Amino acid sequence: MALFILGEAGQIHAASLADLVGTENAAALKRGEKLTRVQAKNPSAILIPRDQNIKDLTSRIIREQNPSFFVETLSLYRKPSAAPWTDGQRTSLFNQTLSLSSLAGLQYYSIRRKQMHTFYETSTVVSGPDGASPQPDPSYTNPPAELTIYARQKDNSFGDNVYRYDYYARPDSLIFVQENLTDMSYGIIPAIAKNKLRSIVAVYDADEYLLLYAVSIAKASSFPGLNDRIGGSFSNRAEAIFNWFSGRADKVFKP
């Protein structure tokens, strides 16, 4: 059964920002704040939008993973107007999120190095979970309700890994989930075993904004201080993903 069902064509009335995150968080986001929560043992989704689909997805992953760190962020991208996105804009934005090759060279601030650092050295869509056969970024004239693609990405912190990306398209939101298909190491330290990381980005059309909810859920190896370093790393990476997304969204809403 599909987790998300693609509705009929045409504009729909999107939920307001306050409907999705509450009045207090909505006010903080409108002031330009980016909300972040980092948790370790027995985490719960604190910043999660009021959308049953994303709640069910996140709850299932928490049960499966028994995570040792859980990093949530909420951010806003401002659209040119409060009008709901059109079918064309939603399709274009969906294709922009499929442009995984554009992640290559993305920068983020490294707490450990205290300077800007490259997130992904390389990022390429591949034909399958073996990581072979590079492919061009896919593109669709109509977003499918569900889609799975694979990518090989070389990360300066975690090395060269293969990931599965699951995409879900709804009239008022786009969601994609990254899962590691190879073991990830933090330098020479085995950090996250294969299938033990899920990074979710959910994009909601809300008033004159796009609301971004990003959460990284992982079971990391038990090394002293490793969870804190990984949690801090993913918190900063969420900022990098927001900056990447903003650039992709500009191509749709501010060409």
**In this structure, are residues 244 and 103 in contact, taking their beta carbons and an 8 Å threshold?**
yes
pLDDT of 9 above 50: no
- pLDDT tens track for 40-72: 878 899 999 999 999 999 999 999 988 988 999
pLDDT of 230 above 90: no
Give the pLDDT band (50/70/90) at residue 254.
very high
pLDDT of 2 above 60: no
Q: How far apart are CA 116 and CA 106, in angstroms?
A: 10
Q: Average pLDDT of 106-124?
A: 83
pLDDT (0 to 100) of residue 92: 98
pLDDT over 70 percentage in the chain: 88
pLDDT (0 to 100) of residue 24: 97
b/e 196-234 (16+ beta carbons within 10 angstroms → b): bbbbbbbbbbbbebbbbbbbbbbbbbeeeebbebbbbbb
pLDDT (0 to 100) of residue 3: 34
- pLDDT tens track for 23-33: 999 999 999 99
pLDDT of 177 above 90: yes
Coil vs helix vs strand at 49: coil
Task: List the Cα angle 222/227/232 in 5-degree steps.
Answer: 165
pTM for this entry = 0.90
Coil vs helix vs strand at 241: helix
Distance of CA 94 to the CA centre of its chain: 13
Helices (H), the chain: 17-21, 23-30, 52-65, 87-97, 226-253
pLDDT of 181 above 90: yes
